Structure 1
Amino acid sequence: MNMASMGILLIFTVISISVGNAQTGFPSLKCKAENLGQYGQQSLLECVINAPHDDTEILVVTWKKASRPLLVFHKGDLKEEPGYSFAEPSWNIRNMNVSLLITNTAVEHDGLYECMVVTDRGRDKNNTISLKVTAKYSKPTILSNPEAITLDTDGTLTCKSDSGYPGGKLRWFDERDRELTKDSQMEAKPTESGLFQLSSKLVLGQAADVSEYTCGVFNASGGKEQEATFKVNTPKPPEKGFRKELNPATKIAAPVVVIGSLIVGLLLTLLIYRKQSQREHHKVGTSDGEEGDEKC
């Protein structure tokens, strides 16, 4: 190996050692890639600097969403958009927790964020963080048209649920857990806040064998959140040995009629008995009279 080759090898060795030492002391930014936020609650986007040296100081922190700056710290100057702040209330340049706190989560907060940090020992690549916002749907309500539906009448059931996010679905089932959703029409409308209102209409046919309908609201992931049930009016068959219930007037009149019948019967019996007694007495008197005439 000649001198020129040895010189080149030495240069590459020195460079490799220098780069290795530099990388050993280089701070890195570690973020939680996927985060969940509940509508109306606080949401946290977690990012922490892994700094090998305890005396590392932060020079710049930038949080953005769709190129819009939300929080910017630059050499002692901090600018925050309303509703955004550092997760650490007493944050300072030695605090390696640069997580972003969203104080009141709304639908507009759903999406991708970018965090960039510069320290006095250099900077790491920007990190992309996602926030998935969810809101639970309200308990469904079921309205019927007409108000009273029986097995032998046509009708329509309308199920409604709102205040949910992302877009969900309303599904219909009968009392045997058979799904009836294919016979319904559903509509999802976003409100001004971005939350959804769901409505589903189910048309009922005559002489159906279904006596109970259940409407369930399912979130975007397919999980059922809440449900409501509607029962069809079905006549009850008469029970064995069933006796028709009497109304109050009948309950009072019935004993009176019975007692009156007994009294009338008793009076008739006495009257008949009296007439029979009179006849027998009359016969006896007549017989005595005839015997007296014969003796004379």
Structure 2
Amino acid sequence: MNMASIGIFIFTVIYITVVNAGLVDVKCKTENMGQYGQQSLLDCAIETSQEATGAVFRTVSWKKEGIDEPLLLFHKGETIKQPGYSFAEPSWNNRNMNVSLHITNTTVEDQGVYTCTVMTDSGSDTSKTTLKVTAKYSKPTIISEPEKISQSTGGTLVCNSVGGYPKGQIRWFGELNEDWTGSSDMEVKETKSGLFELSSKLTLLRGSTYSKYTCAVFNTSGGKEDEATFEVPDGQDTSGHSGGEPGKPTVQVTTIVAASLVIGSLIVGLLGVILYKMRSRRDHREVRAFESDAEEGGGREVDKEYQDTLA
């Protein structure tokens, strides 16, 4: 359709609209939601008065704001459509009151304001409707920088989520569900397809790190779409080491072993002193018993035995 034909078409629409106002009414849904990569429907239907019952369509036109050429046009019994656009009903004809627009593969560029214009042999009307496009963000992924971090060393957590629309937000939460978003730094990139990539960094200070952090992605309406959790190791491995060279005890382990040896030596020494005192007391009692027996005459027998031994 050339510019002259478009001009004649517009003039005709205006003329018929004024002459037959109220006989034909185009009813379109005010707002429609479309999902990126899916089919979308712009819902419009025709209502007529009794005077226009059985009206026959001469022209149906769908245009998008900012684009000169119609996306879909029925005129003089012929349907002209751009790729990806069609009537919602495949068997649509010039007496079908459902003039809804069907979009095969919704993209970000499809978002906007659309105008549906209908001309019949009994009147004409025009109505506008809006399409909003959304795309769900991917499940967040979290990596650490450096790759191996612990609660004692600190580091940086990086959360990424891609493929969403409109622009969303990444938020951070600690193990007690406290909000750490204010301490993070988020970066937003727009791809060629119009979708967004979100990346957020959270720095963990050495010595003040919790054991668990959650990264959640929220859409533009504030609704949470998905989340991921990262658990920060406490720095101890299964061998009792805490980040030293494999097979070698760390300073902490060495200190514990040395302390255990010192304590063990003290305990052994204390037991030796106790045993020595107990033995001394026993010997002392035996001497006193011997002296007591000597006082009662037992000493004479001992002297006699001693003299016999000398003889």
TM-score when normalising by structure 2: 0.66
Partners of 1:192 and 1:159 in 2: how far apart?
Answer: 22
Query: Relative to structure 1, is the Cα distance of residues 178 and 101 closer, same or farther in structure 2, using a 3 angstrom cutoff?
Result: same
Q: 2:232 matched to which residue of 1?
A: 232
CA RMSD, Structure 1 to Structure 2 (Å) = 2.0
Q: 1:103 matched to which residue of 2?
A: 104
The alignment status of 1:49 with 2:46, answered yes or no, reads yes
Q: 2:59 matched to which residue of 1?
A: 60
Q: Note the C-alpha offset of 1:62.
A: 0.8
Query: Relative to structure 1, is the Cα distance of residues 60 and 23 closer, same or farther in structure 2, using a 3 angstrom cutoff?
Result: closer
The one of 21, 30, 35 aligned to 1:33? 30
Partners of 1:213 and 1:200 in 2: how far apart?
Answer: 13
Q: Note the C-alpha offset of 1:77.
A: 2.1
Partners of 1:24 and 1:216 in 2: how far apart?
Answer: 53
Partners of 2:132 and 2:224 in 1: how far apart?
Answer: 19
Partners of 2:45 and 2:168 in 1: how far apart?
Answer: 35
Q: 2:197 matched to which residue of 1?
A: 197
Residue identity matched to 1:155 = G
Q: 2:118 matched to which residue of 1?
A: 117
Partners of 1:49 and 1:206 in 2: how far apart?
Answer: 68
Query: Relative to structure 1, is the Cα distance of residues 25 and 139 closer, same or farther in structure 2, using a 3 angstrom cutoff?
Result: closer
Question: Is 2:23–2:122's contact at 8 Å kept on the other side of the alignment?
Answer: yes
Q: 1:260 matched to which residue of 2?
A: none
Question: Is 2:142–2:160's contact at 8 Å kept on the other side of the alignment?
Answer: yes
Partners of 1:175 and 1:67 in 2: how far apart?
Answer: 49
Partners of 1:160 and 1:212 in 2: how far apart?
Answer: 17
| Cα shift readout 1:207-266 (whole Å, capped 9, x = no counterpart) | 115111100000111100000111111157xxxxxxxxxxxxxxxxxxxxxxxxxxxxxx
Q: Note the C-alpha offset of 1:67.
A: 4.5
Partners of 1:30 and 1:171 in 2: how far apart?
Answer: 42
Q: List runs of 5+ in structure 2 lacking aligned partners.
A: 1-18, 237-311
| Cα shift readout 1:158-177 (whole Å, capped 9, x = no counterpart) | 00000111111100000100
Partners of 2:81 and 2:209 in 1: how far apart?
Answer: 62
Question: Is 2:152–2:235's contact at 8 Å kept on the other side of the alignment?
Answer: no
Residue identity matched to 1:101 = H
Structure 1 segment 1-296 matched on structure 2, within 5 A = 26-52=23-49, 53-68=52-67, 69-124=70-125, 126-234=126-234
Q: Note the C-alpha offset of 1:23.
A: 7.7
Question: Is 2:26–2:45's contact at 8 Å kept on the other side of the alignment?
Answer: yes
Query: Relative to structure 1, is the Cα distance of residues 73 and 67 closer, same or farther in structure 2, using a 3 angstrom cutoff?
Result: farther
Query: SS of the residue aligned with 1:233?
Result: coil
Query: Relative to structure 1, is the Cα distance of residues 24 and 66 closer, same or farther in structure 2, using a 3 angstrom cutoff?
Result: closer
Residue identity matched to 1:143 = I
Q: 1:254 matched to which residue of 2?
A: none
Partners of 2:124 and 2:57 in 1: how far apart?
Answer: 10
TM-score when normalising by structure 1: 0.70
Partners of 2:81 and 2:21 in 1: how far apart?
Answer: 33
Aligned residue-pair number: 216
Residue identity matched to 2:23 = F
Query: Relative to structure 1, is the Cα distance of residues 56 and 232 closer, same or farther in structure 2, using a 3 angstrom cutoff?
Result: same
Q: 1:266 matched to which residue of 2?
A: none
Question: Is 2:189–2:198's contact at 8 Å kept on the other side of the alignment?
Answer: yes
Query: Relative to structure 1, is the Cα distance of residues 92 and 148 closer, same or farther in structure 2, using a 3 angstrom cutoff?
Result: same
Query: SS of the residue aligned with 1:62?
Result: strand
Query: SS of the residue aligned with 2:71?
Result: strand
Q: Note the C-alpha offset of 1:132.
A: 0.7
The structure 1 segments of at least 4 consecutive aligned residues displaced by more than 4 Å after TM superposition are 22-25
Residue identity matched to 1:172 = W
| Cα shift readout 1:179-202 (whole Å, capped 9, x = no counterpart) | 101111111111111111110011
Query: SS of the residue aligned with 1:213?
Result: strand
| Cα shift readout 1:49-80 (whole Å, capped 9, x = no counterpart) | 00234421111111111242111111212110
Question: Is 2:151–2:233's contact at 8 Å kept on the other side of the alignment?
Answer: yes
- Name the % identity: 57
Question: Is 2:21–2:123's contact at 8 Å kept on the other side of the alignment?
Answer: no
